Structure 1
Amino acid sequence: MTLFGIKDLSFLSSVDLTIYRYVSQNTDKVVYMRVRDLAQNAHVSNSSVMRFIHKIGFNSFPEFKAYLSHNDLLSKPKTSEMTYIDASNFPKDISFRLELVANAIYQSDNVVTIGMGESAFLAEYAARRMATLGINSNAIVDPFYPLESKLKNTSNNILLCFSISGETSELIELINEFVNNDDVTLVCITSDESSTIAKMSRYVLSFSEERHYLANHFDLSSQIPVMYIIEGLDGILETMVSD
């Protein structure tokens, strides 16, 4: 396939052809280069690169790279559809579990969502969504928050815990005081139904997702299944609130 729609290369000089050949063979690299990088790799001058770019119809180097990037994406075979989630990411009875938890939330007086690290953002998102529906909800993302004192004179509470591993030590310590508390119902959203937090909870909304770490330290695992669960709960709650 010819680049830039050029079918007749006769109008290009020998230097132009040198640049053209390098670009056509290294498109994936050129899209990240500067003018001087391309010139150095093609063994020509910076001015030769710019003359070539203008000669083939581009006003600037960024415009030239944008064309290359788009052309490169179109030429690559599609290896898979953009499917991030399907039924296989959840237990078969996930709909039933969502109904149970949504009903418990709807009947409760207070909902506290709890998460640490990346799960903190999900806890805050869930609390905000439920608050929009009129649910008395707030998020706790501080592992040292005096939660026991906060709930001391309250009843009919839901603690909705977010932990992908289900082994977040700070979260375990924070909710441990409520395991046998009749005024508190523990619910967790986790990828491991056999985890410590799952065993501590009355209801478990689980999902499966391949764990992905950067440099064996930074967790880049997808949070899309968790978002699905949050919005699944919201959908059921919205129906209850509007009835």
Structure 2
Amino acid sequence: MAFFGFKDFDRLSEVDLDIYRFMTANVETVPYLRVRDIAQEAHVSNSSVMRFIHKLGYNSFPEFKLSFQTEHQTVQANNHQLGFITADNFPPDIYAKLELVADRLQQADSIIYCGMGSSAALAEYAARQTAAVGFNSFCVKDPFYPLVTQLKNTSNNLLVTFTVSGKTTELIEMLNNFVTNEDVTLVAVTADPTSPVALMSRYVLSYSTEQKRVEKYYDLTTQVPAMYLIEQLLSFARRLALAN
């Protein structure tokens, strides 16, 4: 007994179909209408409305209205479920890669997170969370920051770059300074594992998501998959630290 899931249309007459079409076109108001209101709007008789309701399996009009409203609310809820990420957003070997990067993070003397735009906010969050669990980390949101000078005479650094496209010119130019530097290990967190930033990096934590832009310049691509990778990376790193 259901309205929205009804499929046995062969049982319905032309008059029944007129009533059905009216109801499906006015789902918000049907629960508040009387039999005669529906009959008038669908251009049928009151008795036709009741015969239609009985064909659907309801014993009375009040029973139908209550069921109709409940079904409609359920359909709305199902259509607006929060489904940000699934396993399909990541490559099959993502956890193996996270383990490798977590091990490298746990051994590093310093961890630098960098990014631009919304990715900069991710980098800042990652740096704060990494520091909170006991690792030496900081964030670089300015690609022109003198990072080369700061890392001079240091070793065992991990540089993690957040970039959706992996094609941002300023980031590529900054990372170029460290591609052949044995004291800096590059990690890319990106939606494009074939991008320049990914190809420059030793480790790539990739994800797939629809990239969205408004008026060409404003990036509205979700950062939820990248945030998930941050949380998993830190979880793995904490576990390794405790084991040691």
TM-score using structure 1 length: 0.69
CA distance in 2, matches of 1:111, 1:215: 35
SS in 2 for 1:129: helix
SS in 2 for 1:174: helix
CA distance in 2, matches of 1:137, 1:157: 10
Which residue is equivalent to 1:172?
172
Deviations 1:90-132 (A, max 9, x none): 0100000000000001011010001011110000001111101
Give the partner amino acid of 1:116: M
Which residue is equivalent to 1:109?
109
Q: How far apart are 1:172 and its partner, in Å?
A: 0.9
Equivalent pair of 1:133/1:241 in contact (CA under 8 Å)? no
TM-score using structure 2 length: 0.69
1:110-149 pair list within 5 angstroms: 110-149=110-149
CA distance in 2, matches of 1:191, 1:130: 22
Give the partner amino acid of 1:126: A
**Sequence identity percentage:** 46
Give the partner amino acid of 1:148: V
1:1-243 pair list within 5 angstroms: 74=73, 77=76, 78-79=78-79, 81-243=81-243
Runs of at least 5 residues in structure 2 that lack an aligned partner in the other structure: 1-26, 35-69
Runs of at least 5 residues in structure 1 that lack an aligned partner in the other structure: 9-70
CA distance in 1, matches of 2:111, 2:166: 19
Q: How far apart are 1:220 and its partner, in Å?
A: 0.7
CA distance in 2, matches of 1:211, 1:175: 23
SS in 2 for 1:178: coil
| CA RMSD, Structure 1 to Structure 2 (Å) | 2.6
CA distance in 2, matches of 1:175, 1:168: 11
Which residue is equivalent to 1:19?
none
SS in 2 for 1:120: helix
Q: Number of paired residues? A: 185
Give the partner amino acid of 1:162: F
Q: How far apart are 1:164 and its partner, in Å?
A: 0.5
Give the partner amino acid of 2:103: N
Deviations 1:173-224 (A, max 9, x none): 1111110011110001001111000010000000000111223331111100
